[in-house]
Structure 1
Amino acid sequence: MAKTLRNFVSHYTILLTLLFLLTLVGAGDRHFSRPLSRAKHGLKKEKLSHVHFYFHDIVSGRSPTAIRVAEAPTTQNSSTAFGAVVMIDDPLTAGPELGSKLVGKAQGIYASASQTELGFLMVLNFAFMEGKYNGSYLSVLGRNTVFSAVREMPIVGGSGLFRFARGYARAKTHKVDFNTGDAVVEYNVYVLHY
């Protein structure tokens, strides 16, 4: 009987030790990552939306919306302003006139990233403040060769009604003032989201 009791205690101790170790290993995994239900989090059906607006990049005057915040020592001698970094808070409007309905802001940076052509690295958010997209934004990360007739940049994410967004933005220069540097750019954005 004593041998049977010792075997039972030994097996029971091993079993408890294994259960304790499994609990430790499993507890770490549960806190870091776990699969979720799409439907439970409102991700039922993906939609394709088209958003159209005009981007006003104002570098001149008393209240510019685009300001150079950094440059390389050689930027002033570069035909493409290579190395210039510009911070923006540009208005987005429903029509091409600056006085038309404000639908959002383009906020972020663009930087001259090419030594051979005027090509910007665009890192910005289209933050919307109108209609059903009020409070939502789309994130852009891409290349913008500003003298191309039409430029295409990726939409890499978003928030609010644009959660899990992906798509592209097509930019077309509507008007540019070569004396001031101010520009109006028409955007057509196509985005998949939930």
Structure 2
Amino acid sequence: MEGSRGRMAFIPHILLLLFLLLITTSTTTSSTLRRPLKPCKTLILYFHDIIYNGLNAANATAAIVASPAWANRTILAGQNHFGDVVVFDDPITLDNNLHSPPVGRAQGMYLYDKKEIYTAWLGFSFVLNSTDYKGTISFIGADPLMNKTRDVSVVGGTGDFFMTRGVATLMTDAFEGEVYFRLRADVKLYECY
């Protein structure tokens, strides 16, 4: 009888130990999954998109490569450009002046994906080659164009941005009709190697 009482007194200690182990494990896991409060690197860059419209081949940096049946590949489609797919190779500058020396190129594509309102989906990279940075930063995400600011994910990179992760807040800084627009990209990287 005394042997079973000793064993019964031991069970609460085992349960307490398991409970403490569970709390410690969950606390450690949740703290390692939280993103840092401060970014490890920030950049503010501008990219300038000049869409080919049939007349500006000399300075165009983007072209419509696919369009819906009712449209053509020289002029953006009606219905909020729904169905147009555009590829681009835009200069990136440190300020909002198109004629400033470029620090790299924004290369990728966007497609207009909604009839009711201007919105697009983006997949592109910043290819940087300056005295400050060399390498690429890759972005992907939805771009609800009517919002003042929009966030897209930073999903990786190379060179100075090897395996980086973060977010880029995009803002339309200027536009001229349907031929030119300039985006400001406020890039905050939370994983830097």
TM-score normalised over the length of structure 2: 0.71
Q: Which of 53, 56, 68 matches 2:48?
A: 56
Aligned with 1:124: secondary structure? strand
Question: 2 CA distance for matches of 1:176 and 1:78?
Answer: 18
Whether the 8 Å CA contact 1:52–1:189 is kept in 2: the answer is yes
- What's the CA shift string for 1:91-139, capped at 9, x where partnerless? 00011111112111100111111222111110110110112322x0011
Instruction: Give 1 or 2 for the bigger CA radius of gyration.
Output: 1
Whether the 8 Å CA contact 1:123–1:140 is kept in 2: the answer is yes
Task: Find out whether 1:116 has 2:116 as its counterpart.
Answer: yes
Q: What percentage of aligned pairs have identical amino acids?
A: 28
Whether the 8 Å CA contact 1:95–1:101 is kept in 2: the answer is no
Partner of 1:107: 107
Question: 2 CA distance for matches of 1:75 and 1:193?
Answer: 43
Q: For residue 72 of structure 1, what is the amino acid of its counterpart?
A: P
Partner of 1:188: 186
Whether the 8 Å CA contact 1:176–1:183 is kept in 2: the answer is yes
Runs of 4+, deviation exceeding 3 Å: 74-78
Aligned with 1:132: secondary structure? coil
Whether the 8 Å CA contact 1:75–1:82 is kept in 2: the answer is no
Q: Which runs of 5+ in 2 are unaligned?
A: 1-38
- What's the CA shift string for 1:31-55, capped at 9, x where partnerless? xxxxxxxxxxxxxxxx711011111
The structure with the largest helix share of the pair is: 1
Whether the 8 Å CA contact 1:50–1:190 is kept in 2: the answer is yes
Question: 1 CA distance for matches of 2:69 and 2:104?
Answer: 35
Note closer, same or farther for the CA distance 1:75–1:165 as it changes in structure 2 (3 Å cut): farther
Q: For residue 114 of structure 1, what is the amino acid of its counterpart?
A: K
Alpha-carbon distance, 1:187 to partner:
1.1
Question: 2 CA distance for matches of 1:75 and 1:146?
Answer: 21
Partner of 2:161: 162
Alpha-carbon distance, 1:75 to partner:
4.8
Please list, as runs of the form range in 1=range in 2, the aligned pairs for 1:1-194 lying within 5 A after superposition.
Answer: 48-60=40-52, 61=56, 62-75=58-71, 78-134=78-134, 136-178=135-177, 180-191=178-189, 192-194=191-193
TM-score normalised over the length of structure 1: 0.70
Aligned with 1:151: secondary structure? strand
Q: For residue 65 of structure 1, what is the amino acid of its counterpart?
A: T
